[in-house]
Every structure is written in structure tokens, then in C-alpha cells.
Amino acid sequence: MNHAAVRLRSVTRSYGRNTGAVTALDGVTLDVPRGTFTAVMGPSGSGKSTLLQCTAGLDRPTGGQVFLGDTELTGLSERKLTLLRRTRIGFVFQAFNLLPSLSAEQNVALPLRLAGRRPKRAEVLDVLERVGLRDRAGHRPGELSGGQQQRVALARALVTRPDVLFGDEPTGALDSETGRQVLKLLRAMVDGGQTVIMVTHDPVAASFADRVLFLADGRVRDELSSPAAGQVAARMTRMAAVPC
């Protein structure tokens, strides 16, 4: 067994060809240890979402290798990649992407159904309990606050017990106090052994992580361990000031 939850080796991703070509990722190599919380930061267009999507098997790199534990994602058939995404990966986005006509409980049960399993009610309610929403199981997204909806999305991402939970600005649409609740929840999950990788623009959000990676022009330019929010903000300002 490999102790890294995720490994990237010289990962590149470009879009388009010739003069219109854009290099979104330019040779990224990194290891993410199991049970850690990693934040990914960087200016708009630096490749954060592309990095996340290539790592989560939602997008295919143009070159290099991506490993989830001992499984190499790059090179898997579309069918195997889909299966892997459904069973071993969780994803939360800035937009909660819940199905409006389904209850919280039905939304959370959905990934299990997609994976071909018949969800056990107790199992689904247990995950809702973990995000503090057991008593809202029967509510539809429209009857929940933004923070509550994101917690349902979190429960939905966790119900398959994924190896890695990915978040692309999961607190981006929430006010700071509600965002903080979601971040505390993520932190508690990591302390319980979950691996989390999260893109964020917010230095306070990044301060919940064990490590922050700073991307610029598709490369990892810098990193901080156990970051304080002030340190992260200072590093971001410095990166914006220094042309790469």
C-alpha cells in the first residue's frame, strides 16, 4: 500500500492547439498524505480547478500520471474511471448542485444508487447526523439555508466513504460565519482520518488546512505548512506583486 492518498507526477493539461493553446497545468508533481487537509490557492486562471479535476478523474491530463492510492487514473478506461469516481471520490462545488425535487435524505442516497447499491436508511441518516442535519432529512434544498445545503452536499460526497474529498471553493457562496461552520466540519473529518483537498481564495479558509499549495501559471510555486491566515494573505499579496 502507498501512504499517499494522491500522487501527481509531471502532470500537464493544455487546451487548444497552436497559437490558441493554453497550458493550464505545467508539470505538477506532488504527494498528498492520507488523512491530511490540503488547500490550493492562486490567482484566477492559475490552474486550481484544472488541478482538482485532473486529480479527481473528472478531467484527463494531457501528460504525466495521477495516482489515487495505488491506482493509476491516467490510462484507465472511461468506464473504470467513472466507477472509480462513483466509489472512491467525493466532490463538493461552490454551487451545491443538489436536486431540488429530492429531500436531503434522497440527495444523500443518490451516489449509492448510482453505484448500484440499495441505500440503507440508517447509513444515510448517519451521514446526515455527522453534518448536523439528521432532523432535516425530509426537507428539500429550497427549504434549507445555504450553509445547510452545502452540508447536505458534503454528506452526499461522504456517503460512499471516498478515499479523497475534493472541494472547489466549497465555502465560496457562503457568508463567513456559515463558511466557518462548513470548514470546521471539514477539519473534524480530516481529524477523523478523511483526506481533503480544497481550492479556495480565502486565507481564513486555507488556515483550516495542514498545508497550502500556491499555484501560478499552472505550477506549484510555493507552499506553507500549518498556515495562519495572516501568513497566507501575505504570501498571496507577494505572489501577486512578483511577476512569475
Ligand X SMILES: Nc1ncnc2c1ncn2[C@@H]1O[C@H](COP(=O)(O)OP(=O)(O)OP(=O)(O)O)[C@@H](O)[C@H]1O
Rg (CA), the chain: 18
We find the least distance from the C-beta atom of residue 79 to ligand X, in angstroms, to be: 23
- Site residues (CB under 6 A) for ligand X, limited to 42-81: 42, 44-50
The distance of closest approach from Cβ of residue 213 to ligand X in the complex, given in angstroms and rounded to an integer, is 12
- The span of 16-24, 88-96, 139-147, 173-181 binding ligand X (CB under 6 A) equals 16-24
Q: Determine the straight-line distance between the first and last CA of the chain, rounded to whole angstroms.
A: 38
**How many residues in the shown chain lie near ligand X by CB under 6 A?**
12
| Chosen residue from 5, 8, 11, 24 binding ligand X by CB under 6 A | 24
Q: How far apart, in Å, are the Cα atoms of 15 and each of 59, 60, 62, 100? A: 12, 11, 9, 33
Binding site for Mg ion (CB under 5 A): 49
CB-based contact 38:85 (threshold 8 Å): no
Residue nearest to Mg ion (CB): 49
Give the burial class of 150: count Cβ atoms within 10 A of its Cβ; 0-12 exposed, 13-18 middle, 19 or more buried. Answer: buried
Nearer to Mg ion, 49 or 74 (CB): 49
The DSSP output letter for 207 is: T
| 22 interacts with ligand X by CB under 6 A | yes
For residue 1, give Cα distances in angstroms to 85, 89, 215. 20, 18, 29
Q: How many CA atoms lie within 13 A of 174 on its CB side?
A: 24
Candidates 41-49, 63-71, 99-107, 126-134 — which segment interacts with ligand X by CB under 6 A? Answer: 41-49
Pick between residue 109 and residue 182 the one whose CB is nearest to Mg ion.
182
Nearer to ligand X, 41 or 127 (CB): 41
128-to-76, 121, 149, 170, 188 alpha-carbon distances in Å: 33, 11, 11, 18, 15
State the nearest-atom distance from the C-beta of 71 to ligand X, in Å: 23
Binding interface with ligand X (CB under 6 A): 15-16, 22, 24, 42, 44-50
